[in-house]
Structure 1
Amino acid sequence: MKKLPAALFALAAVITVCSTPATAAGLTPLEQRWIAGMTPVLQHAKASGMPVDVVVQPQDAPEAAPLALGFRDGRCKLVLSLRGNPEGEATMQRLPAGLEDSALELMAAHELGHCRRYLDGVWFNLPAGFSAAPAPDGLSPDLQRAYLSMKSARREEGYGDLVALGWTAQRHPAQYAALHAWLSAERARDLLPGSHHDTLAWLKLARDPQALGSAPSMFDAALPVWQHGLNLDED
């Protein structure tokens, strides 16, 4: 995840969370479907005072992630890049049958995990008491920086996945096992072990929803499990 260029926002349709019906914003049916599925999470963000907007890219973006998060001017931007992007429809087709809305909520909650870390000013930072393991010997300085950046991104993805599962455990407990299995399968697709989106170590720790405890906040629920995974990851 990275901060998004100003040009994107000059071109994009920005939807203030839950203030404008999707059908009134000139959106495609696929964009409307994604936003409708994410709406409970977006409403929660608004009620919690999180500064979140939905940004819809009007230009074709065939190489982009269908859903990503940017941070600009103190606000989190959930960016939908669905036009001219076959992965947007492909992702919808891979959602678990009968649980499509809950899976879209899970994905939106993952992005809120990133948002929380940005708002707290701790993106890419380890908690107190943790230190990052050094890059492997024999790498050039550029590769060392790339390796450490990849590990930082993977840690953030792990936290985001746990926040998403925290939301699921609180809002859809009967669906937790199915959604956990779906998320694990998604993370295992075309997996390069240790890469940015290899969060399987954290997902294994959260196979049982009781691992996420009873904290009322999905962010607080994720933290102990995330830190447990950090202990393993930085050994």
Structure 2
Amino acid sequence: MRRLGALLFSALALLPAGAADLTKIEQRWLQGAAPVLEFARQHKLPLDIIVQPNPLPGVAPLALAYIKGRCKLVLSMRGNPEAQATLERIEPELLDAALEMMAAHELGHCRRYVDGAWHGLPAGFSAPDASVVSPELRATYLGMRAARREEGYADLVGLAWIEQRRPREYARLYAWLRAERERDLLPGSHHDTLAWLDLSRSGVARGADSIFGAAQPMWTAGLAVED
């Protein structure tokens, strides 16, 4: 509890002068994410918490940015109905586990940034053929494909966290994540990670030393079938 209090204080300290204290929903998300935040601290990942003080319509409640060599876990929950709606789509007994999984997903993004691998491909893979789209859309198309790959990797990191820390809840958390990805799905879009979820139904990579090491082989396997 003392560590959680320190995390909440750190988040509050990042708010602009005069902003209100953390809301109950912000506290709830951070409470659920606390084990992942502690993991990041122990492994010396450069992670800060930022709480957006003003409403930002259409922004994800939880996201990650990378600024000047540091990862920023960004909470955009004020005036954002999706923050509460997300919690309501989770079975109450799975809430802490789901919040951990979502935080671990963002930690997967952080790891890729810190490693200098963001939007990169492993050896043996090349960028997709963009000749199938018009020239004016090629940059957008390639950016979307790259973002989808990163989301796929991060989903696997989140699942690896659950597999290693909460294995009895893996099947139910996997089903919840898949339902989230299939909700309002636009095939081929940034959050269409089904190619990787198809591979991870029964687990990610048991016995791996880290959540990142667990995700990597299955992520690479998914690159070959993502279309």
TM-score by length of 2: 0.91
Q: Give, in angstroms, the shift of residue 62 of structure 1.
A: 2.4
Per-residue CA deviations over 1:70-122 (Å, capped at 9, x if unaligned) read 01121100000000111111111112331100000000000000000000001
Is residue 135–residue 148 contact of structure 1 (8 Å, CA) maintained in 2? yes
Partner of 1:179: 173
| Cα shift at 1:18 | 5.3
Pairwise mapping of residues 205-220 of structure 1 onto structure 2 (< 5 A)?
A: 205-209=199-203, 211-220=204-213
Partner in structure 2 of residue 13 of structure 1: none
Instruction: Identify the match of residue 151 of structure 1 among 145, 149, 166.
Output: 145
Decide whether the 8 Å contact of 1:70 with 1:78 is kept in 2.
Answer: yes
What are the Cα deviations for residues 152-189 of structure 1, in whole angstroms up to 9, with x where unaligned? 00000000000000000000000000000000000000
Question: Could you say what the CA RMSD is over the residues aligned between the two structures, in angstroms?
Answer: 1.6
Alignment gaps of 5+ in structure 1: 1-16
How far apart are the structure 2 equivalents of 1:91 and 1:70?
A: 21
2:4–2:31: 8 Å Cα contact kept in structure 1? no
Q: CA deviation at 1:135?
A: 1.7
- Which residue in 2 is equivalent to 1:45? 40
CA contact (8 A) 1:23 1:32 kept: no
Equivalent position SS for 2:30: helix
- The number of aligned residues is 216
Q: Select 2:118's aligned residue among 113, 117, 123.
A: 123
Aligned to 1:37, the other structure's residue is in SS state helix
The answer to whether the 8 Å contact 2:196/2:218 transfers is yes
Displacement of 1:33 after TM fit? 0.4
How far off its partner does 1:233 sit? 2.5
Give structure 1 regions of 4+ aligned residues with deviation exceeding 6 angstroms.
none
User: Residue 6 of structure 2: SS of its match in structure 1?
Assistant: coil
- TM-score (norm. length: structure 1): 0.88
1:196-235 aligned within 5 A: 196-209=190-203, 211-233=204-226
Residue identity in the other structure for 2:175: A
In structure 2, runs of 5+ residues without a counterpart are 13-20
Deviations 1:191-223 (A, max 9, x none): 0001000001101100011x4131120000000
